[in-house]
Structure 1
Amino acid sequence: MTQPPDTTPATGHEVIHAYLRTLDNSPGVYRMLDTQSRVLYVGKARALKKRVANYAKPMGHSPRIARMIRETATMMFLTTRTETEALLLEQNLIKQLKPRYNVLLRDDKSFPNILVTRDHAFPQIMKHRGAKTAKGDYFGPFASAGAVNRTLNQLQRVFLLRNCTDATFESRTRPCLLYQIKRCSAPCTGQISAADYAASVNDAMRFLKGDSTELQVQLATQMTQAAEAMEFERAAALRDRIRALTNVQSAQGINPRGVREADVIALHMEGGQACVQVFFIRANQNWGNKDYYPRIGPDIEPPEVLEAFLGQFYDQKDPPPQLILSHMIDNADLMIDALSQKLGRKVEILVPQRGEKAELIDGALRNARESLARRMAEGQAQTKLLEGLADAFTLEAPPQRVEVYDNSHIQGTDAVGAMIVAGPDGFLKSQYRKFNIRGTDLTPGDDFGMMKEVLTRRFQRLLKEDPDRESASWPDLLLIDGGAGQVSAVKQIMDDLGIDDIPFIGVAKGIDRDQGKEEFHRPGHRPTALQRNDPVLYFIQRLRDEAHRFAIGAHRAKRAKAVSATPLDDITGVGAARKRALLAHFGSAKAVARADLADLRAVDGVNEALAQKIYDHFHERG
């Protein structure tokens, strides 16, 4: 009997070898794909043909690389002019495609800065995150919002700078509470002159630039002069400022004298996991630290992990002039070239062996080691909780991805749906999603209708983007805030979508809405409860409370945006600065709507064309 031809796509080193005929030794980036065209690995090469030839050899590979070669069915190539361009393209593709065999930085949020505004006679000091579009001086990055808030509180205590918005500033008729507790000099009501306030701003900026010692000497001289001139009130104020400044410096901890501006980056690997600890040193001051847990393979070496981390970490961030590392990376010259181009000045990479810099690395390594140990312990506890969740509700296996849904609104207004995600690594905040409720036919406060819209949008998108469920985006369990009615509505939604293999549980408050008496509802089952001291019950409560927190936060943000909205937001060409200028000039959006062309043209930043557009916008509305 004749056997049918084998139609299984070829894979392995022989497939890779076939590409050698079409390659030269240009620099570039290559992609290795499996039989389903999923990207397995993205790499760069100084010479593409030489690099691919290494993969074409049947022997001599680590287990991870050998497994990747066996799965490779096709390859893709992009040549570049230089190897530095190849490095940058490689990191962009890794972040975009998230290949299975690459080191992947999983948490890459932007960092906050301190902004001292420059578009007001009395500058405001504030926290800023995102693009640096506002006029002013930026200081950072800080490791976290908490680090920024602590520094802002210290600056307020020492320099008495305002943190209120311009609108609040203009509307004040008497000093606020911050003035009473000596956290602000109340420029809004004329308690300080513009010249004296400007001096305080300059002193604060000097402190942020690292000139705190010189600043203290100068303040001490001024205090002595004030005392000799018998200006005792001024001398006392300067004394208080010096004391506060001393307290700030003593509370900052590590303040390296020989390192003005650098990132200290240390890697610790253990048990197939990695922790990268980053300390931010700016103006000879420690501005906080943050830990990262990149996804790595079982046989990957520290230089490769750090090189991948640096490329992805600084993809959307400006590097400092100096990077102090725990391990030297393989392609340091390329990384230096790429980061120097990004910064516009020379970037130095070093691995210190002695002195103050080595002490900084030792401290960062200790933090990385301790952070990874805590994470591994927490991961073991999380795994046990997921196993307990499976046992409590007779699931086929411990869920690897739990999605929890909740809604938030006030009598139906500014309604927002929220989804949080948890798994063996705890809360996966990068996977959280919020849903602005769009349904126009919903009755205000219709929680069933809101949940239907959220789940329909969520799973219709999953069915469209990943119908074969090949990614990790599909949940293993849904938790819904609600009882039998919510569960019934969810079952109807899932049946309509043809999804019948994802379990879901409704979490309802029990008698007297008492926490600890929750009832759990599932289709085809009677309501059940867990013992009050059951760790699984506490776990479910934490999941529900996190979803509730995220939903309320999203709702408050939406409501705040709606409160500050004006008809000017609908006019293209009128951004935040021109909106402020128009409101300051006319006093209100209604007054802008009634203004004639001549008055509109008189506003700073509004040219004749924009004035006509604003005028037409309001008059077309009738």
Structure 2
Amino acid sequence: MSAVHPEELLRAVAALPSLPGVYRYYDAAGALLYVGKARDLKKRVSSYFQKTHDGTRIGHMVAKIARLETTVVRSEAEALLLENNLIKTQQPRYNILFRDDKSYPYLRISASTWVADAPDAGTVPGRPNPDHYPRVSYYRGAVDRRHQYFGPYPSAWAVKETIQLLQKVFRLRTCEDTVFAHRTRPCLLYQIKRCSGPCVGLIAPADYAADVRAASAFLNGESQSVLAELEARMFAHAERLAFEQAAEVRNQITALSRVLHQQAMESVDDQDVDILAVRVQGGRACVNLAMVRGGRHLGDRAFFPAHVEDGAALADPEAPGTPEQRVLEAFLAQHYTQVPPPPVLVLGAPVDEALLEALIEQSGVRVRAVFHPREQRRLWLEMAQQNADLQLARLLAEEGSQQARTRALAEALGLSADTPEALAALRIECFDISHTAGEATMASCVVYEGHQMQPAQYRRYAIEGITPGDDYAAMRQVLQRRYGRVAAALADAGGDAADGIAGGGASRAAKGEARLPDIVLIDGGVGQVNVAREVFESLGLDIGRLVGVEKGEGRKVGLEELVFADGREKVYLGADSAALMLVAQIRDEAHRFAITGMRARRAKARTGGSRLEDIPGVGPKRRARLLARFGGVRGVAAASVEDLAGVEGISWELAEAIYRALHG
């Protein structure tokens, strides 16, 4: 095996130190193949080159290695962090890769400035101060240590369901401070006993603070202590003959008891636990993560990694393990370098102890892994495993259906797709035009590749300099802007237009990533296709790639026909055709993307949305906070300087500058 590698690479391998670190393999073109960590760099990396891996996935990857880079670190925990940062940012070809998900949602209870026996400084006479009554809310983003955060939760639904529970039992407010400050009578939530009415002074700050402490204890799993405290408060009110207050606390006790009874998954022993089940089948994998926080089961979330077979084979050439173990280890490493792990992990497969030790060192949390759970934990793991099986079966069924649609369309258009790889390489770009009576014309380009839509590659084009409502001119402009650079890059590279699916996948120009799709779908009939043909002919591109989607008789769905720019006869696929289903899916996505862009552009033009963007000191975050607080640009313009200064991150000087800019 070593004979096929450059001498410089072999010398670099021989010179590696026996220290912990991260290694990276590159091919001859400079593409990153694989990132790995090692407790002993020399021993780990040498194992790839000292053994014969012919005919295996490891051999396939090792044969491509042309260059090696390493980084020595102080510990395996540092190696774990560096490895997974590189995997997430560089997305190597042979690593098991879990996509970055959105940040996890939290439940937040805001900080209170109320102090017992202290004067209400800053309070408007006769009006409660919102800072004295903490608000419970759904939250994503950076953590501010002044507030209390509970979670993370697996979904937004889980947070909102918990907030509703807190409203029923503890009647904490959920309204914004601006709404609180302007109330003159209780809202509907007070009437239905979901809020204690602090905005109009119907509860004292001390009593509200007691409810906040009880809610926090409940979220931390201290339900029995909360019940004991509520009972003590109820008896104290009764002894003072304050029977109305005692009845209110009694109702809280009843509501909390009912919630605890309904929470079938409640656990007294386990407060914070993550349950991880994994299923690998058909080259795909699913990791199902279920969360228990404060003894309450909050739901689960499914994760589907890429490069499962290659990554499982390459994870560690010396440590035997099943694909399930490799996938689970990759998830633990990538997930818990971003999210702090709970004290207990219930796992569906054993993992390397060194990985757990590295997680403990990196997070500072003493993590205990359980591989063969009993009693309640066993039930949790069985439920998570069942969900992993169901989610993976659903994914495989959907992918099979989508692949069948891709194959049907390729056959209908006469494209060669002899191998699964060639079929997956089919690239379709679809264009649509949207406007309102000629106003705010917007063109969209959406991309379909690898049997799925590729939102990261979508593009919108603001159309300027045409007669309002001229769809032909709009289509001509967007195609010239999209493919003018592609044609220039292909010409500079001395290459032909991309060979497409018949050549085993769309080619790439030597300069940049310019590429021509196998199919260019135009949402329109003969007129739009003729415009597209003129643009492609002027750019020297293959007009055989142009396909129009013409509405059928009466514009009924299922009667569409395909129109070709190269003179072929129109094709009617049939209402039940898998090919037409794919065409409709792509076209509808292009229409959705165009119309949402058009509406945003139109709204911005009508409301003067750019005025906020032009104010110095008002960046995206502050602008988002202003729009969220006041409901739009008009609400911001109607706000006083004092109201503007009340928004997080807005100083008094900036509030004055915003007010002047919007009223000048």
Fold shared, TM-score > 0.5 on shorter chain: yes
1:314 maps to amino acid:
Y
Instruction: Give the Cα separation in 2 of the matches to 1:506 and 1:183.
Output: 56
By how many angstroms is 1:198 displaced?
Answer: 4.3
Equivalent position of 1:336 in the other structure: 357
Instruction: Give the Cα separation in 1 of the matches to 2:559 and 2:82.
Output: 54
Give the match's secondary structure for 1:317: coil
Instruction: Give the Cα separation in 2 of the matches to 1:255 and 1:191.
Output: 33
Q: Quick check: 2:54–2:60 contact (8 Å CA) kept in 1?
A: no
Structure 1 pair 12–561 and aligned structure 2 pair: CA distance change class (3 A): farther
Equivalent position of 2:392 in the other structure: 372
By how many angstroms is 1:66 displaced?
Answer: 0.8
Equivalent position of 2:309 in the other structure: 297
Equivalent position of 1:48 in the other structure: 41
Instruction: Give the Cα separation in 1 of the matches to 2:593 and 2:264.
Output: 33
By how many angstroms is 1:72 displaced?
Answer: 1.7
Which residue, out of 72, 91, 104, partners 1:79?
72
1:348 and 2:396 aligned: no
Give the match's secondary structure for 2:309: coil
2:42 maps to amino acid:
K
Structure 1 pair 150–28 and aligned structure 2 pair: CA distance change class (3 A): same
Equivalent position of 2:117 in the other structure: none
1:127 maps to amino acid:
Y
Structure 1 pair 470–542 and aligned structure 2 pair: CA distance change class (3 A): same
Q: Quick check: 1:409–1:416 contact (8 Å CA) kept in 2?
A: yes
Structure 1 pair 237–554 and aligned structure 2 pair: CA distance change class (3 A): farther
Q: Quick check: 2:104–2:153 contact (8 Å CA) kept in 1?
A: yes
Q: Quick check: 1:434–1:554 contact (8 Å CA) kept in 2?
A: no
Which residue, out of 254, 258, 275, partners 2:286?
275
Instruction: Give the Cα separation in 1 of the matches to 2:568 and 2:145.
Output: 57
Equivalent position of 1:531 in the other structure: 574
1:381 and 2:401 aligned: yes
Which residue, out of 338, 343, 346, partners 1:324?
346
Instruction: Give the Cα separation in 2 of the matches to 1:261 and 1:358.
Output: 16
By how many angstroms is 1:356 displaced?
Answer: 3.5
Instruction: Give the Cα separation in 2 of the matches to 1:454 and 1:190.
Output: 59
Structure 1 pair 22–489 and aligned structure 2 pair: CA distance change class (3 A): farther
TM-score, with normalisation over the residues of structure 1? 0.78
Q: Quick check: 1:178–1:184 contact (8 Å CA) kept in 2?
A: yes
Equivalent position of 1:285 in the other structure: 296
TM-score, with normalisation over the residues of structure 2? 0.73
Structure 1 pair 544–48 and aligned structure 2 pair: CA distance change class (3 A): same
Structure 1 pair 367–442 and aligned structure 2 pair: CA distance change class (3 A): same
Give the match's secondary structure for 1:118: coil
Instruction: Give the Cα separation in 1 of the matches to 2:433 and 2:200.
Output: 43
Instruction: Give the Cα separation in 2 of the matches to 1:43 and 1:208.
Output: 39
Q: How does 1:184-583 map to 2 (within 5 A)?
A: 184-185=195-196, 187-188=198-199, 194-219=205-230, 241-242=252-253, 244-245=255-256, 248-249=259-260, 252-295=263-306, 296-297=308-309, 300=313, 301-330=323-352, 332-338=353-359, 340-341=361-362, 343-397=363-417, 398=423, 400-406=426-432, 421-422=447-448, 426-427=452-453, 431=456, 433=458, 435=460, 437-438=461-462, 441=465, 467-468=509-510, 476-491=518-533, 499-500=541-542, 503-523=545-565, 524-525=567-568, 527-549=570-592, 570-573=614-617
TM-superposition CA deviations, 1:577-612 (whole Å, max 9, x none): 7987xx99xx9758979x9xxxx999998889x579
Instruction: Give the Cα separation in 2 of the matches to 1:247 and 1:554.
Output: 47
Q: Paired residues, what number? A: 600
Structure 1 pair 385–183 and aligned structure 2 pair: CA distance change class (3 A): farther
By how many angstroms is 1:216 displaced?
Answer: 4.2
By how many angstroms is 1:275 displaced?
Answer: 1.2
Give the match's secondary structure for 2:63: helix
Which residue, out of 76, 96, 117, partners 1:103?
96
Instruction: Give the Cα separation in 2 of the matches to 1:477 and 1:612.
Output: 52
Instruction: Give the Cα separation in 1 of the matches to 2:640 and 2:169.
Output: 41
Structure 1: where are the runs of 5+ without partners?
A: 1-8
Structure 1 pair 480–74 and aligned structure 2 pair: CA distance change class (3 A): same
Farther off after superposition, 539-548 or 413-422: 413-422
1:515 maps to amino acid:
V
Equivalent position of 2:126 in the other structure: none
TM-superposition CA deviations, 1:528-582 (whole Å, max 9, x none): 44433434444444444455555566677778889696856545545767987xx
Farther off after superposition, 13-22 or 309-318: 13-22
2:65 maps to amino acid:
T
Equivalent position of 1:140 in the other structure: 151
Structure 1 pair 287–603 and aligned structure 2 pair: CA distance change class (3 A): closer
Equivalent position of 2:119 in the other structure: none
By how many angstroms is 1:489 displaced?
Answer: 4.8
Give the match's secondary structure for 1:111: coil
CA RMSD between the two structures: 4.8
By how many angstroms is 1:496 displaced?
Answer: 6.1
